[in-house]
């Protein structure tokens, strides 16, 4: 299910956007400013972010720059500023699109759909069916894993976790993002399900699970494949 983060300090604007997105079948999570948005990203995986610029505590420009340090998620900026320089500033800091307030909700919805289509097309091009990382091969079409030419039997959930990490080498995924991407349901903050599955994965693909060669732990953040 497509999940969208709406970040705006105006609750009325958030409500309007929420209603239109929900009516299209999207899951919507709200944040009041940039700090709340970054916190939400630690616990959820988003397909798109709608980000206001003028907000207290952390504005949209700073939030966009921080988001870009950890994610390539499409960002659609909202702003009452309408000069060309304002738009250029927003787009050069990492936004994918820029819409001026007051806006037509139907236009906003059309731009959201356009960004989601574009992201889906890019994902197909960027993530080949067969991924090779040193001696590890992940075949997404065949749901098969080979290590040094030897087939490795994984459960469907183990394969999905490995596929997610291998498709984004170098990117760190929190337990919450892994859980929501693989299990397709909200993450429980005290849930250690992901940790258990990572441990099982390491037992199957690592020569030394306690000193992993493939699945690395980034302490306090999550997991990645280098």
Domain CATH for 32: 3.40.50.2300
User: Are residues 118 and 177 located together in one domain of the fold?
Assistant: no
| Three-class DSSP labels, 86-132 | HHHHHHHCCCCEEEECCCCHHHHHHHHHHHHHHHHHHHHHHCCCEEE
Question: Taking 70 as the threshold, does the pLDDT of residue 37 lie above it?
Answer: yes
d(CA 105, CA 76) in angstroms, rounded, equals 13
User: Are residues 117 and 141 located together in one domain of the fold?
Assistant: no
User: Are residues 42 and 142 located together in one domain of the fold?
Assistant: no
Question: Taking 90 as the threshold, does the pLDDT of residue 48 lie above it?
Answer: yes
Q: Which residues contact 116 (CB under 8 A, 6 or more apart)?
A: 2, 47, 48, 74
Number of domains in the chain: 2
User: Are residues 134 and 117 located together in one domain of the fold?
Assistant: no
User: Are residues 200 and 103 located together in one domain of the fold?
Assistant: no
Domain edge (last residue) among 76, 100, 125: 125
The percent of residues above 90 in pLDDT, for the chain, comes to 54
Question: Taking 80 as the threshold, does the pLDDT of residue 82 lie above it?
Answer: no
Domain edge (last residue) among 100, 125, 150: 125
User: Are residues 155 and 68 located together in one domain of the fold?
Assistant: no
Question: Are 61 and 53 in contact, with CB atoms under 8 Å apart?
Answer: yes
- Local confidence band at 125 (pLDDT 50, 70, 90 cut-offs): low
pLDDT at 126: 59
Question: Taking 70 as the threshold, does the pLDDT of residue 133 lie above it?
Answer: yes
Find the range with the poorest average confidence among 52-66, 112-126, 161-175, 212-226: 112-126
**DSSP conformational letter for 173:** B
User: Are residues 118 and 136 located together in one domain of the fold?
Assistant: no
> Quick check: pTM over 0.75?
no
CATH code where residue 151 lies: 1.10.10.10
Domain edge (last residue) among 68, 100, 125: 125
Strands 215-218 and 222-225: what pairing?
Answer: antiparallel
User: Are residues 182 and 121 located together in one domain of the fold?
Assistant: no
Q: Kindly state the average pLDDT of the residues 120-148.
A: 83
User: Are residues 13 and 104 located together in one domain of the fold?
Assistant: yes
User: Are residues 32 and 110 located together in one domain of the fold?
Assistant: yes
User: Are residues 78 and 56 located together in one domain of the fold?
Assistant: yes
- Structural domain of residue 136, as residue ranges? 130-225
Q: Choose between 53 and 124: higher pLDDT.
A: 53
Q: Choose between 62 and 188: higher pLDDT.
A: 62
User: Are residues 19 and 58 located together in one domain of the fold?
Assistant: yes
């Amino acid at each position: 299910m497509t999940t969208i983060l709406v970040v705006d300090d105006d609750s009325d604007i958030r409500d309007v956007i929420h209603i239109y997105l929900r009516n299209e079948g999207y899951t919507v999570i709200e944040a009041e400013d940039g700090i709340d948005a970054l916190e939400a990203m630690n616990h959820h995986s988003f397909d798109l972010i709608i980000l206001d610029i003028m907000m207290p505590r952390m504005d949209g420009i700073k939030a966009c720059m921080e988001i870009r340090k950890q994610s390539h998620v499409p960002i659609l900026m909202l702003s009452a500023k309408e000069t060309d320089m304002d738009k250029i500033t927003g787009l050069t800091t990492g936004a994918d699109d820029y819409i001026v307030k007051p806006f037509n909700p139907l236009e906003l919805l059309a731009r959201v759909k356009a960004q989601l289509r574009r992201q889906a097309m890019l994902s197909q091009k960027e993530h080949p069916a067969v991924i090779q990382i040193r001696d590890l091969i992940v075949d997404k079409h065949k749901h098969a894993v080979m290590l040094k030419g030897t087939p490795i039997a994984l459960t469907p959930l183990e394969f999905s976790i490995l596929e997610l990490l291998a498709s984004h080498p170098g990117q760190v995924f929190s337990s919450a993002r892994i859980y929501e991407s693989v299990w397709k349901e909200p993450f429980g903050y005290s849930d250690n399900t992901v940790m258990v599955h990572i441990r099982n994965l390491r037992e199957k693909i690592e020569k030394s699970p306690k000193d992993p060669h493939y699945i690395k732990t980034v302490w306090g953040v999550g997991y990645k494949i280098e």
